[in-house]
Structure 1
Amino acid sequence: MRLAMLDIGSAAARLDIVDLASPRMPRATWSVKSRTRLAEHTLPDGRVTEEGIADAERAVRHCVSAASDKPTEALIAYGTSAVRDASNGARLRKRLGEAAGVRIGVLTPRDEAAVAYHAARRWHGRSGRAMTTVDIGGGTVDVATGTGTDPDVVVSLQHGAARLTRQFLPDDPPTPAQLADLRHELHATIPKALRRVEGGHPLALSKVLRQLAVLTESSLDEVARRPHRLRLKHLSRWVPRLAELDHEERAKLPGVSRSRGRRILAGAIVAEVIMESLELPELEICPWGLRQGLVYRFLEARTRTRADALDLVGTLFD
């Protein structure tokens, strides 16, 4: 059996064909990606412009069309915070659903964090050992901790890298006053919000954190293409340097994609404050996250009946 999964995010839409018959972790055997540019076209009030909706529609149509000759049992399509939190989200989801040919689901921030944690737990190993996951997305920052296959505590904050860039860093590069305002906001909210997080083995899940790891672990002579960790002492050295560059200059740095050239600075500052608040000298890079977690949820439902698996969209997503 093969499952198609369409992830619609703030930077891109990605469709994976996942082989569920694999004896090990079900993996993507085919993938296609297309830029949505939703973050670029989201206004300060949270509304996605008509141009942004059209760009996202084209990205979704491209992905679905590219996969049209690949037989699958089901297509699960979902939007992350860029879709979920848009003030015109109902219209956006309707248009994207028409482009995809299926309903576009969204998870609550807590459910999204819990599903990603579940995947990280399976990647990291058996339950019983405390584990904490950190996921910096475009709209939210999610921290989850626990000792089992599902988290005991989930903290979700409206401090995603794209959202903070729109709200606090409108200039490119930002002014010192804008940076000071951002840091004031984060220091006023993050340490207090994370008081219930008791620690455990720390894992980094998001692309922003993976790109920061590549950047901060690279040297003048060699690019660290697949670093195993993001270290606070290296990150703190890079934050002032990122603040001096505009988004095009940042996108030329090792590991930083063009689509994240604007938001990487806000992401770096959020990561720094979280690691300081939890007293974490480093985060281990975990390659699994929401997509893998949803595959596992689908497989768990499929062990009961095929209908249960296909009902996943109606039970897990809003």
Structure 2
Amino acid sequence: MSDKRAIIDIGSNTVRLVVYNGPPRAPVVILNEKVSARLGKDLARTRRLSDKAMSAALSALGRFATMLDLLGVDRIECVATAATRDAENGNEFLAAVRALGLNPRLLSGEEEARASATGVIAAFPGASGTVGDLGGGSLELVAVDGDVCSGGITMPLGTLRLADLRAAGPARFAATVKAGLAGAGWKNGRGRPLFIVGGSWRALALQAMRELDWPLDDPHGFELAPDIALRICRALEKGKMDSPDPRISASRLATLPDAAALLGQLVERIEPSVIVFSSWGLREGLLYAQLDAETRAADPMLAGITAFARTSLVAPGDAEAVARWTAPIYADGAADAHLRLAATMLALAAMRSEPNMRAEQAMAWALRKRWIGLDARGRAMMAMTVFANSGLTAIPPEFAMLASEADLNQAIGWGLAVRLCRRLTGCAGPALAQTSLLLEDGQLVLVLDDDMQALYSNGIGKDLRQLADWLGLGWMVKVIAEA
């Protein structure tokens, strides 16, 4: 059986195929293709999927089915959402999809909400608050508290409907959103994070990041305080935009004012503590639901970085051994221990690059690559660890926007410790086993078995002294004779 797995998402605006590979807990996208079939266009007026939209969707789905066969993908989940669900001829359309050899499952509004919320839980383990998923045909809201809560709602507030709803003016639109929430009995989320999913809202995140001169460029995990979110939404809904982010497609740019207007209303009505943008939603939620309990419980950050480090010929066992070697000088909790291990993996992977590329690659890997389960603070600490492992201890200004000085200084210590370990031992198992780093009476002590003395040099002494100075400690070398 192939390790590849695929999700086909028949949405109200786009029909999309995503093929994944890599670690189950941190899947890697190897194919992502969409067609803007706009199944939900005019649905509110006609109650039917148009022949033109169905033809475009079926043509795309036929290609997807052929592509999956050619790729040898045998784990395929195909789902249809709001437009197909609401259309009078939805069953007719699904029958045509089945004739292509696919097996579509029509999701109810609550199932759609739960799948999106499950994707957020997968991306942000332990997430607690509200998940909002804006699609072409509907808006889903569901509460989460480490798991998906019951009582999710769906409302006809998708991007294909918003322009008509806003045409009556801001006051009427605000009343529509307020009445929709009240009619659905939605009272959750006040003072808790609002996790938002959907392409139009990701476009809003890209524009906000540009306007705020944010040092990261991946919208996943980007956060906005409610007052800042409202200010940006109010400007965007009026079409006020100095310079659009070039990564926003023309189709998304067209929906940006409507998506901003809706988000502004939700922020005012729900009163969240923070708005968190998630690139994981329905499709990733469906994948996550397929996993066993043990795999679900795994740390997605470590799973993703471990798989990535392997591509740089870094064995996970080597990184774990180096992290254990440096551990005695740190009293970090479980979360930071995971972060330190991940940073160690990335630091060792960077050493496989040419020296003149390491700092640049560290910046790109840590700050720009999508790591699920890693926040802005963690990204900055990871990048600073890789920098220090290369002997660089000056903190770049963009890092200081993402993490505190204390956190970055701690990461520099991590990197200097990795530098000392790898230069002393070469990450060789016997050398790691017969050397150690300890704290004794306010001093940093490098312990060597007698037959490892030859590994010590003036350069290693400088590395040891630099780490000790950074930690504010004295230092010494202790040689243990064989019994």
**TM-score, normalised with respect to structure 2:** 0.53
| Aligned residue runs from structure 1 range 135-146, under 5 A | 135-146=133-144
Count residues in correspondence.
Answer: 287
Q: In the TM superposition, what are the counterparts of 1:29-68 in structure 2 within 5 Å?
A: 29-40=30-41, 42=43, 44-68=45-69
Question: Are 1:159 and 2:157 an aligned pair?
Answer: yes
Secondary structure class of the residue paired with 1:29: strand
2:115 paired residue number:
115
Q: Deviations over 1:224-256 (max 9, x none)?
A: 7424124544443445554555xxx99x93254
Which residue of structure 2 aligns with residue 207 of structure 1? Answer: 199
Listed as ranges, the gaps of 5+ residues in structure 1 are: 304-318
- Given that 1:216 and 1:238 are in contact with CA atoms closer than 8 Å, whether structure 2 keeps it comes out as yes
8 Å CA contact 1:6–1:15 kept in 2: the answer is yes
Give, in angstroms, the shift of residue 295 of structure 1: 0.9
Deviation of 1:261 after TM superposition, in Å, equals 4.2
For 1:92, the equivalent position in structure 2 comes to 93
Relative distance call for 1:221 and 1:61 in structure 2 (3 A) is same
What whole-Å deviation, never above 9, does each CA across 1:123-147 have from its counterpart, x for those lacking one?
Answer: 2124xx6332121222222222132
C-alpha distance in 1, partners of 2:118/2:107? 14
- In structure 2, the CA distance between the partners of 1:185 and 1:202, relative to structure 1 (3 Å rule), is closer
What is the deviation of 1:263? 3.5
Match of 2:165 in 1: 168
Distance 1:72-1:34 versus aligned 2 partners, 3 A rule: same
Residues 1:72 and 2:73 are matched in the alignment = yes
2:256 corresponds, among 249, 264, 273, to 264
1:7 aligned residue: 9
Higher Cα Rg, which structure: 2
Give the CA deviation at 1:6. 1.0
Cα-Cα RMSD: 3.1
Distance 1:223 1:257 in 2: 21
Q: In 2 relative to 1, CA 97–180 (structure 1 residues): closer, same or farther, beyond 3 Å?
A: farther
**Contact 2:121–2:147 (8 Å) recurs in 1:** yes
Q: Structure 1 residue 289: deviation in Å? A: 0.9
Once the two structures are superposed, residues 6-52 of structure 1 have per-residue CA deviations (whole angstroms, 9 ceiling, x without a partner) of: 11122322212223x62642333333222223244545233221111
Q: TM-score, normalised by structure 1?
A: 0.77
Q: Do 2:189 and 2:271's aligned partners in 1 also have CA atoms closer than 8 Å?
A: no
3-state SS of paired residue (2:39): coil
Q: Distance in 1 between the 2:202 and 2:269 partners?
A: 20
How far did residue 283 of structure 1 move? 0.9
- Measured at CA, do residues 24 and 118 of structure 1 come closer, stay the same or move farther in structure 2, by a change above 3 Å? closer
Unaligned runs of at least 5 residues, structure 2: 296-483
Whole-Å separation in 2 of the counterparts to 1:210 and 1:45: 30
- CA change 1:162–1:77 in 2 (3 A) is same
| More RCO (CA 8 Å, sep 6+) | 1
Higher helix share: 2
- Residue 90 of structure 1 and its aligned partner are, at CA, apart by 1.3
Residue aligning to 1:274 = 266
Letter in 1 for 2:117: Y
